[in-house]
Amino acid sequence: MHSLLKLSVVAAAAGVLMMSASGPAAAGDLDGQEIKVCTWGGSWRDIQRDNVVTNPGGLEERGATVTFVTGSPQDNMAKLIAARGQPVCDVIEILDATWDQMVELDFVVDELDFSLLPNAKHLADWQIGKNFTGSWFTQEGICYNAEKFAEHGIPTPTTYKDLIHPKLEGLIQIPDITSGGGLANFGGIVKAAGGDENNVKPGLDLINAMNVKKFWKRGSEGVTLLENGDIWALISHVGWCMRGHKAGQTYLKFVHPIIDDEHVGVNKFGFLSIVKNSPMEVRAAAHAYINGYLDEETQFQMSSRAGTIPVNVNAQARLAQDPVLAEMAVLDAEGIAKEYRVRYKGIDITTWNDQWNRAVTQ
Amino acid sequence: MTASTPLATTASNGTRPQPQRQPGFHFPLAKVSFYGFCSLSYIFLLSPLVVVVGASLHRGSRYTVVKFPPEELSLYWYTQIPDAHWEALTLSFSLAFMASILACIVGIPAALGLVRSNIPVKGLFSSIFRAPLQIPSIVTGVAFLQMYYLFGDLTGIYVNGTFAGLLLGHLFVGIPYVVGTVGAVLQRFDTRLEEAALSLGAGRITTFRRVTLPVIMPGVYAGGLYAFMVSFGDVPISIFLSAPGFVTFPVELFYGMENDFNPSVLASSTLVILFSLGLLLLMQRIVGLENLLRSGGGS
């Protein structure tokens, strides 16, 4: 009887230890914390909700309440400015092109507590800073109709200049500079044409030489035009090409264009941060949200559906099992390291827009 | 050609009368061209709606493109409309309905004041009531959001992120339509009707309720309908004033299509198109669309 009592005490103690060891993921540990997340709407928001909030062990089960403030990073930044420092949201998703503007506004992003972000260890060094973690990135390049190219004897493109072909006149679509992928792709085209962040003219000349049919605002326009045969080549991120391919447009292939001797392909990437004036009482939930976003499963689900590339290296490896993405995307660390990333710091984006409007719309 | 046609008649003095010029077209070719041009223009303008409705019936796979004409007819995407769309639709209808009602409540007295008063700064007031139409909506959205925060800082009452906050913004842009259409009717209003009612012993309120209001109702309907449509379709203001739980239908669609394309968007859009057509038919039955046009609705 005595030994049974001892055994019970030991078992109870072990149970308590196990419960405490489970730490922040314990049910109810975020009770009463309500956070708002600034991110895009539609399926982007839904994937996050399903994999970070309402999933088993997610924030909802742990007692937190999460609501979404939907909008593009630019719109959300405008809301933060209009709110004059008040926390419109607690967690914010930011694009690379707007990051420096966000940091300049000293009321926007705060330092992160990486002890609450165990999943951050699965990210590459360049995707982590004192006040941000990467959340995803895209691989921008050329999505093209391989059947049409073969039928008309057009060589497979290896870089943007290859799209200057008499048989491709009026059959190319590229992103408008104001669209989601506009700045990254424009930066890549400029670099490939021999320019740089401060000299965009070579890129503008190259775009004019391509004889583009249309500039897209939404990537879905491009895959629709590819399906209808109105264009044969689309400059976009690999996700749109992947979605089209999975929807039956099996003639679609993707090329990561050669940018220069060191770079192949172009990246656009997203960050996650905590808004500076977010109340300290909800910071644990805010960190838990970011940690959940960086989780392998969330990253994998987001990439499988949207065609973005996960920042979590385990999810990258897992994604290689998706035959379409494995063929279209670059998922090895060496290849990813070679991709060109526009340095937005110091760039006057308004000047880029002005030059684009003057040159491209002529 | 009947006997009364000018070409077939002869004047009593025996001289052949000069053919009288009738209004309208005299050459069949011109008439056919005109109607043909008008028809083609309407077909062109309405064709995007036809594409949306048609493409919503295409049974595609999960990630797909806008497919028109549909290859495989199905209502599949109507069963896939996400809850967020239904919630946003409910909010947009409620918001537009409330905005149009309140726009009428504010706009009718405003129109009466602008048309009938002799205050020296009538022109200034008229400009103020028209101003929401001249300010870019995106500016209105930012301005309202800033005002809400400022008001909240001063009073502790924050209306941003609430239904009331959205409603105020939508009301701001809805009022000019009611003022415009009711004002147009009032300009042609025969005030002797009111004088007759007053002389027969009716009070001012009874006269307004029994005489004035029924006469200006086409303008009220027209203004209310425009206010409803402007509110329902608004994106720029709602982008800034929407908040968790208060996302309008156009904003939900706008952001939903930014990173993805799901044909359920076409299905829910089709439902809105059908609702709008139903609303127009209802208006036709209640007041008659020709009355709406006569009330200066488009002005």
Q: What pLDDT shows up at residue B21? A: 58
ipTM above 0.85, yes or no: no
Task: Say whether residue A246 is in contact with chain B using an 8 A CB cutoff.
Answer: yes
Output b/e per residue, A242-275; b: 16+ Cβ within 10 A.
bbbbbbebebbbbbbbbbeeebbbbbbbbbbbbb
Please state the domain count of chain B.
Answer: 2
To test the contact with chain B by mutation, choose from A43, A68, A268 the residue with the greatest count of B C-beta atoms within 10 A, namely A43
CATH 3.40.190.10 range(s) for chain A read 27-137+268-331, 139-266+340-360
Q: Regarding beta strands A172-175 and A214-216, do their DSSP bridges make them parallel or antiparallel, or are they unpaired? A: parallel
Q: Which CATH superfamily is domain A27-137+268-331 in?
A: Periplasmic binding protein-like II (3.40.190.10)
CATH number of A139-266+340-360: 3.40.190.10
pLDDT-flagged residues of chain B (< 70): 1-26, 60-64, 289-299
- Distance of alpha carbon A243 from alpha carbon A325, whole angstroms: 10
Q: Which of A74-78, A128-132, A258-262, B201-205 has the lowest mean pLDDT?
A: A74-78
B18 lies in some domain? no
In the predicted structure, residue A62 carries a pLDDT above the cut 50: yes
The residues near B292 (Cβ < 8 Å, ≥ 6 apart) are B218, B221, B222, B225, B283
- Quickly state the pLDDT bin for A341 (edges 50, 70, 90): very high
What pLDDT does residue B289 have?
A: 65
When pLDDT is averaged across residues A294-301 and rounded to a whole number, the result is 94
Residues from chain A contacting residue B240 (CB–CB below 8 Å): 75, 78-79, 82
Domain containing residue B39? 26-74
Tell me, yes or no, if A359 comes closer than 8 A to chain B by beta carbon. no
pLDDT category at A77 given cuts 50, 70, 90 is confident
Same domain assignment for residues B150 and B63 = no
Q: Cα B187 to chain center, whole Å?
A: 21
B108 and B85 belong to one structural domain: yes
* B32 and B160 fall within a common domain: no
Residue A72 contacts B where some CB pair is shorter than 8 Å: yes
Question: Any chain B CB within 8 A of the CB of A67?
Answer: yes
Of A36, A40, A79, the CB nearest to B244: A36
What are the pLDDT digits (tens) for A154-173? Answer: 999 999 999 999 999 999 99
CB A53, CB A60: distance < 8 Å: yes
From A32-36, A121-125, A216-220, B164-168, the region with the lowest mean pLDDT:
A216-220
Same structural domain for residues B190 and B234?
A: yes
Residue A207: per-residue pLDDT:
95
Computed over every residue of chain A, the mean pLDDT equals 88
Return all residues near A107 (Cβ < 8 A) that are at least 6 apart: A80, A85, A276, A277
Mean local confidence (pLDDT), A187-208: 94
Long-range contacts from B127-135, C-beta under 8 angstroms, 24+ separation: B129/B175, B129/B176, B129/B179, B130/B176, B130/B179, B130/B180, B131/B176, B132/B172, B132/B173, B132/B175, B132/B176, B133/B173, B133/B176
> Does the beta carbon of A229 lie under 8 angstroms from any beta carbon of chain B?
no
Chain A residues touching residue B60 (CB < 8 angstroms)? 247-248
> Cα(B96)–Cα(B237) distance, rounded to whole angstroms?
13
User: Kind and range of the H or E element at A216?
Assistant: strand A214-216
Which helix (DSSP H) or strand (DSSP E) does residue A285 occupy? helix A283-293
Q: Which of A214, A215, A256 is nearest to A237 (CA)?
A: A256
Judgement on whether residues B48 and B139 belong to the same structural domain of the protein: no
In a domain? residue B70 = yes
Domain final residue, candidates B14, B46, B74: B74
Separation of alpha carbons A156 and A145, rounded Å: 10
Domain identity same for B196 and B68? no
Predicted local distance difference test score (pLDDT) of residue A102: 78
- What CATH number should be reported for the domain holding residue B150? 1.10.3720.10
**A116, A213, A142: which is closest to A172 by C-alpha?**
A213
Do B155 and B226 fall within a single domain? Answer: yes
Chain A interface, best mutation among B66, B166, B261, B262, by max A CB count within 10 A: B261
Cα angle, residue B241 at apex, residues B236 and B245 outer, rounded to 5°: 120
Mean pLDDT, to the nearest integer, of A293-321?
91
- Name the residue in chain A with its Cα closest to that of B85: A42
Is B186 inside a domain boundary?
Answer: yes
Percent of chain A with pLDDT over 90: 61
Helix (H) or strand (E) holding A175: strand A172-175
Q: Which two tokens stand for residue B73?
A: 């007819």
pLDDT at B269: 92
Handedness of CA A328, A331, A335, A338 (dihedral sign): positive
- B122 and B219 in a single domain? The answer is yes
